[in-house]
Amino acid sequence: MKRFFESLLNERSYLLFLSIITIYWLINYVTNEYVLTDSLMYDSLYGQLPEQYIDRAIAFQRKWAWVSYALFPVILVLKWLFVSAFIATGTVFMNFNIRFKQIFKTTMACEWIFITAGVVNFIVLLFSNVQNLEEMQRFNVISILSIGHFIQGLVGLEWLVAPLQSLNVLQLIFVFALALGVSVVSNEKFGKSITLVAKSYGAALVIWIVLIAYISVSYA
């Protein structure tokens, strides 16, 4: 895995970025075309909204789908900057010899973990013959492997489901991969690197969970 990571980090940054964005776009496109179809949307909303409103909602979603494609790269870069900033702050206190550019590229390379999960999730959904949005959520690989999934249905803890979906197996793999990448580019021991990532990225993740929990409670 270390050799694979080194090959990723040796790639030009813009090629790495373009490959990540392109694959995400493809996943979103095929999901919208073959899984999140108009009939699935209609079946999900039928009985909750009048038919004319359902037709308008589907038409609106189709018309403005390009906005999500345009904004997605911006959101992704902001996410990488956010994570990189926390790790860079940690390197100051733990005396790591590593530049912010290297941290950012390492964070970007680790995005392949979530891409792989996205591809697996699409394949699962494609062959699961889901009929509505609730079933889509039930077959979501990332949600199933999260703490939030295990507390669903518990009275009084509904507001924790959304934020705790961020605590999943993928996040654990991401932390280990991020630590390995930091270890490679800084020539520090893996143990020291994982301590850095656990403390810095862990702090960022806690802030994110608190934010989502606040939004869940405020708009419940």
Question: What's the mean pLDDT in 125-130?
Answer: 78
Least reliable range by pLDDT among 69-73, 78-82, 203-207: 203-207
- Over 60: is that where the pLDDT of 148 sits? no
Torsion of CA 138, 140, 146, 152, to 10 degrees: -20
Cα distances (angstroms) measured from residue 18 to each of 12, 46, 77, 127: 10, 39, 12, 29
Question: What's the mean pLDDT in 186-193?
Answer: 90
- Over 70: is that where the pLDDT of 204 sits? yes
CB under 8 Å to 166, separation ≥6 — which residues? 146, 148, 205, 208, 209, 212
Residue 213 and residue 220: Cα distance in Å, rounded?
10
**For the chain, what are the domain ranges?**
2-218
pLDDT score at 49: 72
Please report which confidence band the pLDDT of residue 20 belongs to, taking 50, 70 and 90 as the band edges: very high
Most confident of 3-12, 78-87, 145-154, 161-170: 78-87
pLDDT score at 50: 74
Question: What's the mean pLDDT in 191-198?
Answer: 92
Q: What is the DSSP string of 56-101?
A: HHHHHHHHTHHHHHHHHHHHHHHHHHHHHHHHHHHHHHHT----HH
Question: What's the mean pLDDT in 144-167?
Answer: 57
Report whether 9 contacts 17 (CB < 8 A).
no
CB under 8 Å to 124, separation ≥6 — which residues? 139, 141
Least reliable range by pLDDT among 13-27, 48-62, 63-77, 169-183: 48-62
Residue 74 and residue 67: Cα distance in Å, rounded?
11
Most confident of 2-11, 20-29, 159-168: 20-29
Query: Residue 95: which region, alpha, beta or left (left: phi > 0; alpha: psi -120 to 50)?
Result: left
Cα distances (angstroms) measured from residue 131 to each of 20, 22, 38, 126, 188: 29, 28, 11, 11, 50
- Over 80: is that where the pLDDT of 137 sits? no
Please report which confidence band the pLDDT of residue 158 belongs to, taking 50, 70 and 90 as the band edges: low
Taking the CA atoms of 68, 71, 77 and 79 in sequence, report the sign of the dihedral they define: negative
pTM equals 0.81
pLDDT score at 210: 74
Coil/strand/helix, residue 4: helix
CB under 8 Å to 137, separation ≥6 — which residues? 143
Query: Residue 70: which region, alpha, beta or left (left: phi > 0; alpha: psi -120 to 50)?
Result: alpha
Q: Which residue has the higher pLDDT, 128 or 187?
A: 187
